[in-house]
Structure 1
Amino acid sequence: MTITAAADGSALGNPGPAGWAWYVDDDCWRAGGWPHGTNNMGELMAVLDLFRSTAHLSGEDLHILCDSQYVINSVTKWMPGWKRKGWRKSDGKPVMNVELLKEIDQALVGRKYTFEWVRGHAGHDLNEAADDRARAAATAFQEGVAVRQGPGFGAAAEAAVEAGAPGAQASPAAAQAASRPAQPESARQPLFGEPSLFDEPDLFSVLDEDPTPAPGTDASPEVIVEALERELLLPETRSDLGRTGVLLHPDFTEIGTSGRIWTRDAMMMSLEDNPGGPTEVEILGADRLGEQTILLTYRSRARTGTALRSSLWVHDGAQWRLRFHQGTPEA
């Protein structure tokens, strides 16, 4: 029998109070978190805890639904190369979230598993349930209240698996160990203790503050958004994951000039590999659609040709971020 579960993470402020959760059904789910973490930490922790919570059912296939391409690619594509390089990326820099990744690498041994990417916030029942519980855990840490940890992979879930196909049953001690909350060592450091790996922005996380000053103390939102759009078109910005993580909204989507739909994670990975060349911009309009929303339209000229572009910028309470972009080749 195949165990199908969704795994998700949440961070309020990213980084900020963080939560994680995996979900099979209302009788089989778990959640947890930390006072300070990132979305990617939560996503990875949800996957790690799912493997640990089902360790006593290692003979069963595990099908994991995940809306993070970073997590899927880390586990299924990048980890072997990182390990060969001593857990360093191709540019020689240390891999972010390495403690969680090492623990996941150990948890994979002897397991049969597949990952499936699902679009987040698109009405997928299991993904939405995991997302709700991860966000609730992050909110609990923000408010200083107890986290609803869930029933875990309890007797009812084990009975369902056993009814579907025979599988090894864990001893009471093994089952208790498998369902024990798991946290990486760095996540257990005091909140105001020594800086650790988890104090740094990870591969796709949003930084605490926007390091780019506003174009002027009295600059209008339209002027600020135009400056940010121009910055985002610079090759040195596009190849900087930390900076693109600031400029792109967590729910960013693009419809490219080829007609392809890009998610935030896919876009950032693509830009890191190929940031492109210089681009000239001719602003056509900057229209205020609301107090927190500006639609920027412009013509871009690059080596590959000209295109008409629309960018929807939203203010999240702290800074302006690009929520949606569409490009159309100009005839």
Structure 2
Amino acid sequence: MTITAAADGSALGNPGPAGWAWYVNDDCWRAGGWPHGTNNMGELMAVLDLFRATAHLPGEDLHILCDSQYVINSVTKWMPGWKRKGWRKSDGKPVMNVELLKEIDQALAGRKYKFEWVRGHAGHDLNEAADDRARAAATAYQQGVAVRQGPGFGAAPGEAAASAAQAASQAAPQAAPSGRQEPFGEPTLFDEPDLFSELDEDPTPAPGTDASPEAIVEALERELLRPETRSDIGRTGVLLHPDFTEIGSSGRIWTRDAVMMSLEENPDGPAEVEILGADRLGDQIVLLTYRTTARSGTALRSSLWVHDGAQWRLRFHQGTPEA
């Protein structure tokens, strides 16, 4: 049998009063939080507490519904490499939220589980229920009132826990190897940026006080293509517009959050850049087109930069392999 539960986090201000929750049904859920935390911390804590709450049912498969690509990738893809490097990323910087990740790593040992990405705020019943409870916990910390913690899953095996497990169960798919993630297929889209809390939103410096918008945008694009910039999640967060999207050369649609995490893990940029054009489409919009040359071949690229009133930010990018 399989226990299916949604796990979610919330932070008011991000960082700010934060909450987390997992939800199976109205009789089986739990929530908590902190006076100050981030959305990512809440997402991770919800998953950790779910593993802990079901530790007395090691024979049950755990099916975790999660709207955070950051959490899914951290637990199922990146954590083994981080552990080998002493919990450091490919650029040598410490992994964020490392203590929570270490505890999750211990909690999932010997467990059979898999993650499924679900779109947040899209009417998914379990996800909405977990989100409501996580946000309520964050609000309680903001207002200084008691948090509704929920009934939980039962501290030890017994009739209550067995009843909750039965209510949560469904026909089990083929089990994953013990302690390993069973792949669902990589999602290509997800809703909410998870990493805003990690960013330093400093104004973008212009190449010169009298530089034209076209020159500023070209300089920023070249900066974004440098490996040292791509591996710096704080800087990429400044350069990418909150609503940034990209259509990659494979046809995949990338969100801002997915691009930032991908660049941080794989920061290598193109070897050569040839600017083809820089066209001002309005007072606050510049379209930049260029060709990149790398070992994998050449690609034609277009970037749409917009000025948000304080700085230039990349709003859209598309790359197409050159024939």
**TM-score normalised according to structure 2 size:** 0.70
Provide, for residues 10-33 of structure 1, a one-character-per-residue CA deviation record: whole Å limited to 9, x for no partner.
Answer: 334433332222222343322222
Partner of 2:245: 253
CA distance in 1, matches of 2:27, 2:310: 38
Number of the residue aligned with 2:232 = 240
Worse-matched range after superposition: 66-75 or 149-158: 149-158
- Distance (Å, rounded) in 2 between the aligned partners of 1:132 and 1:216: 48
1:4 equivalenced with 2:8 (yes/no): no
* Deviations 1:109-154 (CA, angstroms, capped at 9, x unpaired): 3322111223434443333333343334334434444434333336
Contact 1:297 1:308 in 2 (8 A): no
Question: Can you give the 5+ residue segments of structure 1 that lack an aligned partner in the other structure?
Answer: 166-201, 289-293
Q: Percent identity?
A: 81
* Other-structure match for 2:30: 30
Q: Check whether the contact 1:7–1:66 (CA below 8 A) recurs between aligned residues.
A: yes
Alignment length (residue pairs) = 289
Letter in 1 for 2:115: F
Change (3 A) 1:124 1:15: same
Partner of 1:177 in structure 2? none
Render the CA deviation track for 1:271-313: whole Å, top value 9, x for unaligned.
231431354553323447xxxxx66533123225463535475
State the one-letter code of the partner of 1:76. T
Aligned twin of 2:280 = 285
Structure-2 change in CA distance of 1:145 and 1:164 (3 Å): closer
Q: Call closer, same or farther: CA 1:107–1:256 in 2, change over 3 Å.
A: same
The 10-residue stretch of structure 1 (5-14 or 155-164) with the greater mean CA deviation from structure 2: 155-164
Distance 1:132 1:219 in 2: 48
Q: Does 1:74 align with 2:66?
A: no
Provide the secondary structure at the position in 1 that maps to 2:56: helix
- Return the match for 1:302 from 292, 296, 302: 292
- Does residue 159 of structure 1 match 2:149? no
Q: Provide the rounded CA distance (Å) in 2 between the counterparts of 1:260 and 1:305.
A: 18
The residue identity in structure 2 corresponding to 1:307 is L
More displaced stretch, 126-135 vs 153-162: 153-162
1:27–1:157 contact (8 Å) kept in structure 2 = no
CA deviations 1:159-179 (Å, max 9, x no partner) are 1424688xxxxxxxxxxxxxx
- Which position in structure 2 is the counterpart of 1:86? 86
Structure 2 unaligned regions, length at least 5: 170-193
Deviations 1:30-62 (A, max 9, x none): 222222222221211110011112222222111
Alpha-carbon distance in structure 2 between the residues aligned to 1:223 and 1:12: 38
Output the TM-score relative to the length of structure 1.
0.69
